[in-house]
Chain A
Amino acid sequence: MSKIIQLENISKIYEIGDIKVPALNGVNATIDEGEYVSIMGPSGSGKSTLMNLIGCLDTPTSGKFMLTGEDVGDMTDNELADIRNRRIGFVFQTFNLLPRANAFHNVELPLIYAGMSKEDRKDRVEAALEKVKLADRMKHKPNELSGGQRQRVAIARALVNKPSLLLADEPTGNLDSTTSFEIMELFGDLHQSGNTIVVVTHEEDIAAHTHRVIRLLDGRISSDELQKPKLVSQTAQAS
């Protein structure tokens, strides 16, 4: 299995005035293709920083970060933008859909930045919305959709460019429990169909659905364990 993410001795130090604040301190980890991983940790543990690095929104202070075999560490701004566009699919806690654009257009956006032709975009967007079961909501704007539907549009947007990695930051943080289960079920399905997924969360419930849990504490990995995932249907019954 090919490696999607390789983190070698990653450190990230923020300089606030004269004070150096280490957010990550020698992190080593590898995530393979097809894995379903959660990154957990209390606030201040460095999980947001790690997510930003994995998402190629930021570069490490030291250490080596390879994404699908490419060294991200010394990429230019434009190269990072292209990598985010082609390799990463972001799912945010607050959905971050463009409010004035309808579902179709929101999903279309990464393809526009990828420079794809209009006809090709149409097919891809429709397929992606189909996958999240929102084919009938294409012309709706975010404020005409429920929270769960919005997050599904966001997931369609993350998937549309066929990324190597789906990166979700507290994807159920703004959703009620029923909708959360829906979304986690969707993640489960996407994992089943071969997507590599990394979920950053502080909820044990959510992490329980993943196959592997990486726990961070004070900028270091405190544990990295494989687990048998709880099926969504079981959780739903239990609650």
Chain B
Amino acid sequence: MNINEALRVSLASIAGSKLRSSLTLLGVVIGVLTIIATMSIIRGLNNLVEKEMNQLTADVFQVQRYDQNINFGEQQERKYRPKIGLSEVVALQENANLCKIVAPEVWDWGSTIKYKNDATNPNIVVLGGTPGSMPNNGYNIERGRNLSEQDVRFARPVVILGYAVVQRLFPYRDPLGEEVSVNGKKALVVGIFEEMGSVLNSNADHRVAVPITTFEYWWGKERSWNITVQVVDPNRMEEAIDQTVAVMRVARGLKPGEPNNFDTWNSSELVDTFNDMTKWIKVAAFGIAAIALLVAGVGIMNIMLVTVTERTREIGVRKALGARRSSILSQFLLEAVILTEIGGVIGVGLGIASAYLLGGAANLPIAVPLWSIVVGLVFCSVIGLGFGTWPAWKASRLDPIEALRYE
């Protein structure tokens, strides 16, 4: 059957019943919209995560006591593991020659910084670190100085303030050389971090840094250290991690065959983990879309059955004029596919629009993945074909004499 003819007839017939067609298409539109919008937002999040992570720590990996695990699915059991401390840091500094900067750090969340009568909210992150912690975490000093080896060695009460803390406590004066209190412990401000902006809503500017020794002097030595490692050559990241694991195993006295009692990860792993996490959101979106499209498919079948009944006489005429069964079949199949594809195209449009709308509200760099458009439209065709087949088959089997007589 001539495709142009089928196309023309289909469009005319759809145009002839606009309200009915558009109601039927609602399900298709919702289904495709869901796919496009969700995938675009996830892609946007993904880009953001990748950009931020890579920018901060492309050549850095981290060693920590427990496994990095931000997966909801598989929470591993927390078997006791010995803390990581100075001996591991020393071992790495001495033996891991692929590691350039080995910097231990500890963290405290939810501190309050006070200056005179002013205080921040108790949402400040305190990093206890070494000079190397700053480059390893991608923190740049805007003014003043970094922590020094001496600060660490003598556990000096010095602090570097994050941008938001400065904004809050020192709106009109220079904080350098002033004395603030970090959760009640007095410290001298020696430096200020550059503004970082927010990374996925965790505000990187709400933080201060003190020497790791000072941190432990103030709040005790219970915490296990994390060790950030900047590698000599980013292209040999894997090798450096392998070397580090070997050194760590020796330092922690593990026998061959014993599993590691520590974990290493880097930013690309974090991106992987993030992808792992969003996988389920994608699956859920596809689930919703599939249900919407399935319901839409039933609607399509219904409307096609009505169309076939309404146009029984036309089918009879076409058969009398020499249309084969296959011509009638393909005509109605094509009509079903065109109908769903119209819905699909509208769904793509609305999906992109709503993704940008939501992305704009959430300050996300939205990116519409081409494959999601392709998948959405292919889905539509499959639905159209799947649910259009029976009505089209019915049409093709009509007896021309009966059909011509149909009122």
Contacts and interface: CB of A to CB of B under 8 A. Distances in A.
A90 B320 contact: yes
Nearest to B321: A110
B306 to A, nearest CB: 16
Interface in B15-65: 16
Nearest to B323: A113
A66 interface: no
B12 A96 contact: no
B322 A85 contact: yes
B142 to A, nearest CB: 72
Contacts of A77: 324-325
Residue among A57, A90, A105 with most chain B CB within 10 A: A57
Contacts of A60: none
B277 interface: no
A55 B400 CA distance: 11
Q: Interface on chain B toward A: helix, strand, loop, or mixed SS?
A: helix
B16 A110 contact: no
B13 interface: yes
A82 interface: yes
Contact of B401 (A58, A113, A157): A58
Contact of B320 (A55, A101, A115): A55
B321 A78 contact: no
B114 to A, nearest CB: 80
A211 B215 CA distance: 118
B76 interface: no
Residue among A52, A58, A78, A98 with most chain B CB within 10 A: A98
A96 B317 contact: yes
A157 B320 CA distance: 12
A90 B321 contact: yes
Contacts of A86: 322
A222 B81 CA distance: 109
Interface residues on A, range: 20 to 34
B181 interface: no
A82 B313 CA distance: 19
A113 B331 CA distance: 12
A154 B374 CA distance: 44
Interface string B322-351: 111111000000000000000000000000
B321 A57 contact: no
B404 interface: yes
Contact of B323 (A55, A58, A81): A81
A81 B404 contact: no
A238 to B, nearest CB: 34
Contact of A112 (B5, B13, B313, B317): B5
Contacts of A78: 324-326
Contacts of B316: 96
A57 B325 contact: no
Nearest to A90: B320
Nearest to B314: A98
A96 B311 CA distance: 12
A84 interface: yes
Contacts of B16: 100
B144 to A, nearest CB: 80
Given A100-B13, A100-B16, A112-B2, A85 B321 contact: yes
Nearest to A163: B322
Interface in A60-111: 77-78, 81-82, 84-86, 90, 92, 96, 98, 100-101, 105, 109-110
Contact of A157 (B314, B321, B323, B327): B321
Contacts of A58: 401
Interface in A6-57: 52, 55, 57
B319 interface: yes
Contacts of A92: 317, 404
B145 interface: no
A78 B321 CA distance: 12
B313 A96 contact: yes
B318 interface: yes
Contact of A84 (B1, B8, B321, B325): B321
Which 7 residue pairs of A and B lie closest in terms of their CB atoms, listed nearest first?
A85-B322, A113-B322, A81-B324, A96-B317, A110-B321, A100-B12, A84-B322
8 contacts: A55-B320, A96-B316, A100-B12, A101-B12, A109-B318, A112-B1, A113-B322, A113-B324
Given A58-B401, A110-B321, A110-B322, 12 more contacts: A52-B401, A57-B401, A77-B325, A84-B321, A85-B322, A92-B317, A96-B313, A101-B12, A105-B8, A112-B1, A113-B318, A113-B322
